[in-house]
Amino acid sequence: MTSETQHQELLAKYAEAVVRVGLNLRKGQRLIITNATSRGVPPAGREFVYAVTKAAYAAGAKYVEVIWGDEEMLRLRLQHAPADSFDEYSNHIVDATMNMIQNGDALLSVYANDPDALAGLDAERIAAMQKTHLTHYNKIGAQVSRNAMNWCVVASSSPAWAKKVFPDLKQEEAEEKLWQAIFETTRATLPDPVAAWEAHIKNLKARAKYMQAKKYSSLHYKGPGTDFTLGLPNGHIWGGAQALAENGVIFTANMPTEEIFTLPDRHRAEGTVAATFPLSYGGSLIEDFSVTFENGRIVKVNAKKNQAILQKLVDTDEGSTRLGEVALVNATSPIGKRGHLFYNTLFDENASCHIAIGRAYRFTLTGGAELTDEEFIAAGGNVSLNHVDFMIGSPHIDIDGIKDDGSREPVMRAGEWAFEA
Amino acid sequence: MTEQEFDQLLSKYADVVVRIGLNLRKGQRLILRGILEDAPLMRKVAESAYKAGAVYVEPIYTDERIARIRFEHADPESLTEVPNWMLARYEEYYERMDAELAIQSSDPELLAGIDPDLIAKERKAIRQKYEPLRKYENTTNWCVVATASPAWARKVFPAVPAKEAVEKLWAEIFASCRIYEADPVAAWQEHVEKLKKYRDYLNAQKFTALHYKSPGTELTIGLPEKHLWQGAQAEFKNGITGIPNLPTEEVFTTPHKDQVNGVVSSTMPLNYSGVLIEEFSLTFENGRAVKVSAKKGEETLKKLIETDENAARLGECALVPNSSPISQRKILFYNTLFDENASCHVAIGNSYRDTIVGGEDMTEEEFAAAGGNKSLVHTDFMIGSDQLDIDGLKADGSRVPVFRKGEWAIKV
């Protein structure tokens, strides 16, 4: 049982780590706090947003802009709006965010959503609404993809999310337990979260450096339902934990983060890969699914639940039939060892090895930020409105690194790192 | 009240807002502005609007605590920082003729204890940034309503438990917005017709001035030659007729900015930017407030009238009988939308363009020459009571009783 005072202290420590390590907010920067999925932070995130706002002003922020979003409004629109009205959009979040980015400001995305917000609603309407949103929001995606500014994605507990993660607990207990999980995985429960983050970041960077030195030409995954080879393009860059933004700030884009990652070659993926966790996408949960590739292209998807939504995701655009990220996470990471799903990519991707359908991050390819879309694609990078991670790691997965000469080295065995860094 | 009953009332309220207040047209987009506590009404309005054929409803939520946190934690020098995109966003809405609903349920004590200098500095920066939006006044159908937010309810009913206070305030809102009537839409139509009759009578009289007399008040308000009385209904430039305030009990026009003389005393506290100003009076000479005094909040009041050149002049005078349904509740709402409909009032600051004949098409110089006031602020304060007499003065020197003991002295 956590007292209100303890809870507020943990919130403050968490918020401080987000502002100091995650965003590394600079004095005089402005900060925009938002959330693309719900067109703003859901009200459930209020307490945490207050804590971040205080920490940001304490760090010398010139202005903190909070955009609030209401998932119920999205449901109402999908239920009641005219069928031909889904190309209507409000550019204000895009304009606001672009305005801040161009000004050298920082961006924080706060998840406090209902993973099932759009459950049971018409898939056609959802797809039409999402496509309009992504078409406009792509402007921001492009800026994030090249690390134009210091940005960070974090989460707050929310009633609906907590109940989803802990369905057997009473509402209040579930929320408290989810907060506990968030505080622990973001190291807020440690005496000095900022120092703990610095040590953790050093470790991830060492692993990324090892993988970088190896220059593998592909990775081979083998496990239950998975026999899958993924090419890595020349010039791929393994990153982890920290990145340098174009505005000169070194930041940590996700809290928590346990992954090292790079981009796959969009033209080279072969075989079938089985998801090891459900995927929460646009408010729907896609479960028990697998994806089959030929020449880098998704040729078949199979899902026990919400196959239509998965198919719509893949059909969004050409780039959505291909991959844009490959990430390695050991199965006993602080999140993986908790042994339960979070139904949220930020956490689940840090429990498990994963790949992403859609857009590749420009900064994962040498010189990628300077290339035109065509040049980036020719170099193996992927361009898409989407970037959707799904989990393929488990304690039963082995991964080999394959070199140009065809020789193989173990990268992971039974879900754990097979090398020292 | 059961949850189901409340839900039904909220739906009826939303329908009145969409059909009577906004008179929303099929194919329009609708902007909803409110605080997070307004979400239940905003969602009902969104549903009602989509059913009325809205193509897109956009909620714009703010959280008042974030505003307070800024005053408490930000570098005071940074309080003038207002991002550009907000202005651009509203320009886009008005250019496209979107309908706009603003919900006013603020915590009257939100900024209690914050330095009035800082508040004035922040408000002024925001007003200056938004100044270009003035030209869109009455461009599209807009409406202002309220919901019973917990902080507001606590202020209005401090003696009862929080949940009960919210229920009581909702009951006041529903009653004053005629939601309990069997046919709220018909009730509103009848009410609007009555207000229009008073408006038409006053316009026909062509008074040159109004003279106010009550305890602490001896005030003459000169009226511009081309002043126009307005009430209840408005015709917006996008061709739609709607009711910009729910509730509304007032008819109003603009004073001549240079022709206000005498003393006026407030009869209710004024809630300005989260600070309460109480028991105050202003002395006017040739339209300008030359002296102010207040038992509480005097500094804030002074800052308010010093906002700009014309914030010390009046921009509205409104007539509301003491027997109005809201006045009869004998409740101080700490919210202008309600309190202004309980009482005769005047406003410090900007005049509405539509209160001078042809005002909407005048340049700023022409509008000022016609007697209209231009300022960044427009803040109502209440001066009505059951002891207020008002005479209308005509060009020939004759006097016509308009109000006696707080009630209409004219028959329409």
Q: In this structure, are B160 and B201 located in the same domain?
A: no
Nearest CA in chain B to A99: B85
Residue B88 pLDDT class (50, 70, 90 cuts): confident
- Looking at CA atoms only, how far is residue B22 from chain A in angstroms? 18
pLDDT of residue A2: 66
Asked if residue B124 and residue B47 are part of one domain, the reply reads yes
Query: Is the confidence at residue A1, as pLDDT, over 60?
Result: no
* Band (A348; pLDDT cuts 50, 70, 90): confident
Residue B204 pLDDT? 96
| Interaxial angle between packed helices B162-176 and B3-16, expressed in degrees from 0 to 180 and rounded to the nearest 10 | 40
Q: A272 CA to chain B: closest CA distance, Å?
A: 41
Which residues of chain B have a CB within 8 Å of the CB of A88? 29, 55-56
* pLDDT above 90: percentage of residues in chain A: 86
Whether A66 and B63 lie within 8 Å, measured CB to CB: yes
Residue A274, both tokens: 């089985």
Residue B282 in any domain: the answer is yes
Least Cα distance to B393 among B157, B153, B219 occurs for B219
Count of pairs with CB atoms under 8 A, one residue in A, one in B = 108
| Interface residues of chain A, partner chain B, Cβ below 8 Å | 30, 40, 43, 46, 49-50, 53-54, 57-58, 60-66, 68-70, 72-73, 76-77, 79-82, 85, 88-92, 95-96, 99-100
d(CA A46, nearest CA chain B) in Å: 8
* pLDDT per residue as tens digits for the range B386-406: 999 999 999 999 999 999 999
Please state, in angstroms and as integers, the Cα–Cα distance from residue A319 to each residue in A232, A387, B42, B154, following that order.
17, 9, 38, 54
A61-74 tens-digit pLDDT = 999 999 999 999 99
Reported as a pLDDT band with limits 50, 70 and 90, residue A4 is confident
Question: Does B185 fall in a domain?
Answer: no
- In which domain, by residue range, is B45 found? 3-176
Cβ B9 vs Cβ B174: under 8 Å: yes
pLDDT, tens digit (0-9, with 9 covering 90-100), for B278-310: 999 999 999 999 999 999 999 999 999 999 999
Give me the mean pLDDT over the A342-371 stretch. 92
Residues B106, B207 within the same domain: no
Same-domain pairing of B122 and B201: no
Domain final position from B153, B176, B199: B176
Which fold, A4-185?
Answer: Thermophilic metalloprotease-like (3.40.1830)
If asked whether residues B71 and B23 sit together in one domain, one would say yes
Residue in A89, A90, A99 nearest the CB of B84: A99
Among the partner residues B63, B89, B92, nearest to A68 by beta-carbon distance: B63
Helix pair B184-205, B3-16: axis angle to 10 deg: 40
CATH of the domain at B25: 3.40.1830.10
Q: How far is CA B39 from CA B105, B140, B313, in A?
A: 11, 23, 37
Q: Tell me if B39 and A60 make a contact (CB, 8 A cut-off).
A: no
Q: Which of B36, B46, B84 sits opposite A43 (nearest CB)?
A: B36
The DSSP code sequence of A26-46 is PTT-EEEEE-TTTTSB-GGGH
Give chain A positions within 8 Å (CB) of B71: none
Separation between Cα atoms, residue B169 and residue B162, nearest integer Å: 11
| Confidence bin at A349 (pLDDT 50/70/90) | confident
CA distance, residue B15 to nearest chain A CA (Å): 15
Residues of chain A contacting residue B43, judged by C-beta atoms under 8 Å apart: 70, 72-73, 76
- What's the mean pLDDT in A259-267? 97
Which residue on chain B is closest to A129 by alpha carbon?
B56
* pTM of this prediction exceeds 0.80: yes
Residues of chain B with pLDDT > 90, as a percent, come to 87
pLDDT, residue B366, reads 97
Cα angle B244-B247-B249, degrees, rounded to a multiple of 5: 95
């809205």: which residue's tokens?
B54
* B210, B330: one domain: yes
Going by pLDDT thresholds of 50, 70 and 90, the confidence category of residue B35 is: very high
Query: What kind and span of H or E run contains A116?
Result: none
Q: pLDDT for A272-315, tens place per residue?
A: 999 998 888 877 889 999 999 999 999 999 999 999 999 999 99
Is the per-residue pLDDT at B316 higher than 90?
yes
In a domain, B184, yes or no: no
Over residues B60-73, the mean pLDDT reads 96
For chain B, how many structural domains are there in total?
2
State the Cα–Cα distance between residues A331 and A320, nearest whole angstrom: 27
User: Looking at chain A, which residue has its C-alpha nearest residue B53?
Assistant: A82
The verdict on B321 and B380 lying in the same domain is yes
Distance from CA of A116 to the nearest CA of B (A): 18
> CA–CA separation, B343 vs B327, rounded Å?
7
Residues of B in contact with A65 (CB under 8 A): 83
C-beta atoms of B43 and A30 within 8 A: no
Which of A19, A90, A156 to probe by mutation at the B interface, max B CB count within 10 Å? A90
The mean per-residue pLDDT over the stretch A214-234 comes to: 97
- Minimum distance, in Å, between the CA of residue A50 and any CA atom of chain B: 7
CB-nearest to B66 from A66, A80, A100 is A66
Q: Does residue B261 sit in the same domain as residue B394? A: yes
Query: Which residues of chain B approach chain A closer than 8 Å at the C-beta?
Result: 29, 36, 39, 42-43, 46-47, 50-51, 53-63, 65-66, 69-70, 73-75, 78, 81, 83-86, 88-89, 92
Could you state, in order of their start, the residue ranges of all structural domains in chain A?
Answer: 4-185, 214-239+258-417
C-alpha closest to that of B311 among B362, B373, B368: B373
B219 to chain A, closest Cα gap in Å: 44
Q: Find the range with the poorest average confidence among A35-44, A333-342, B259-268.
A: A333-342
- Looking at the DSSP bridge assignments, the partners of residue A416 are A413
Looking at the fold, whether B391 and B355 belong to one and the same domain comes out as: yes
**Is residue B239 situated within a structural domain?**
no
ipTM value for the complex? 0.85
B274 CA: distance to closest CA in chain A (Å): 19
Average confidence (pLDDT) over A124-149: 92
Q: Is residue B341 part of a domain?
A: yes
Domain finish residue from B176, B201, B216: B176
